[in-house]
Copies of this chain bind each other. A is one copy, B any other.
Amino acid sequence: MTRHPTETPPTTPAAPHQMWGGRFSLGPSEALDALNRSLPVDHRLWPQDVTASKAWVHALGRVGVLTSAEEAQLLDGLDRVAERLADEGIDAILPGYTHGQRAQPVRWAYVLVAHAWPFVRDRQRLADARRRVAELPLGSGAIAGSGFVVDRVLLKEALGFRAVSANALDVTGDRDFVAEVLFDMALVGTHLSRLGAELVQYASSEYGFVRLADEFSTGSSLMPQKRNPDVFELARAKSGRLLGDLVALLTTLKGIPAGYSKDLQEDKALLFDAFDTLAVVLPAVTGALASLGVDPERMRAALDASLRATDLADLLVEAGVPFRESHTLVGKLVREAERAGVPLDRVPQAVAGGIHPALGAALAQLGTWEDSVEGRATPGGASRKSVEDQLEELRKLFGAGAGP
């Protein structure tokens, strides 16, 4: 067992007796003291400080990055965001969008599931990070290894680490594990921002696809009619803060030498800030999603006939028209429909046939919206079976005991 603490600077808020007192005639100034403690962040590691040894705090803090209660909360939050969602709404059909424009009909469950997969990748990245980080730093001394006989391999086994760190100079100055986790969380934030922004849009009067429950809406102190989607706005906003934490760390690390520098103490405040941010956002998003009302009629009403264009082009291709030509032909039909002010599927067959004989026939063959969606039956597509397969896969991934 190592018998002396590393040089890692004091992590308790106010050491009554500073170790280096023998050397200096004056104690630290108040200004330096304030700067050195700067933020009361280290108390977060106190529960792990079972032996009152700073070395232990350091070591456990390292692996603690990803085994703490925060991790469980974070992963559970990701699961819940990914799960809600998604069971219902297989029957509800709405436009899928590209470029912010109606593109093709899809199922509501399919849209929600599309937002769940990024969180699956986030879990995988966090699992990779946890595996990588689990290297025991204990026994590294200040920078050159310990001067006492420490069985690092035994310690590693006892404490449940994957490996012992390879180089003491590297490990005392390494904050890759913080950077990697901060990046993973910044990407979680990016995914939340995309989900949030899309739901703010769907909650607008213009879309009207979803309606937030009373307990997840806020009103306006000025406009009595307002029902504001604060949860989703903040889900959109917090990506900024999480990216800021990552930039702060990488900029701090830039250009400092190997081994310990005081600069490295910045890491914990940033990591905890990111954890705390997600620990507030994820439950709120989960709750708002779980209680979200859906309006299948507004969704259906948004399916205008122009969304049939791809179906028509596909039918032309099946009838032997080359894809490029069929695309051009349907384009002409779209323009004709706009000119005449009628829906695409209401252009008279004679007019359509005048553009190309196969186009008239294709118009007659168009089925229901359900037919259209079921026509996209490749794995990963919008068809009923594809969505049900995805839901089952997600349930497995997020099931009990299926941790990353």
Contact = CB atoms under 8 A, between A and B. Distances in A.
A354 B135 CA distance: 44
A386 B168 CA distance: 10
B331 A9 contact: no
Interface stretch (A43-51, A59-67, A238-246, A360-368): A238-246
10 contacts: A19-B327, A38-B280, A96-B169, A141-B381, A144-B381, A193-B253, A224-B310, A234-B263, A240-B250, A241-B252
A236 interface: yes
B221 A167 contact: no
B145 A380 contact: yes
Contacts of A255: 193-194, 196-197, 236, 239, 254-256
A149 B376 CA distance: 9
Given A145-B383, A240-B252, A327-B19, A7 B215 contact: no
Nearest to A133: B121
A159 interface: no
A230 B194 contact: no
Interface residues of A, number: 190
Interface in A180-230: 180, 183, 186-187, 190, 193-194, 196-198, 200-201, 203-207, 213-230
Interface string A386-403: 100010010000000000
A231 interface: yes
A252 to B, nearest CB: 3
A127 B283 CA distance: 33
B19 A219 contact: yes
A98 B226 contact: yes
Given A34-B280, A224-B327, A224-B330, 4 more contacts: A22-B327, A27-B215, A98-B260, A193-B255
Interface in A127-149: 128, 132, 139-149
B221 A24 contact: no
A26 interface: yes
Contacts of A262: 99, 218, 228, 230, 233-234, 237
A120 B225 CA distance: 34
Contact of A179 (B22, B24, B187, B335): B187
B393 A142 contact: no
Nearest to A287: B31
B247 A266 contact: no
B7 A223 contact: yes
Contacts of A174: 117-118
A194 B257 contact: yes
Nearest to A322: B3
Given A215-B26, A317-B4, A378 B150 contact: yes
A74 interface: no
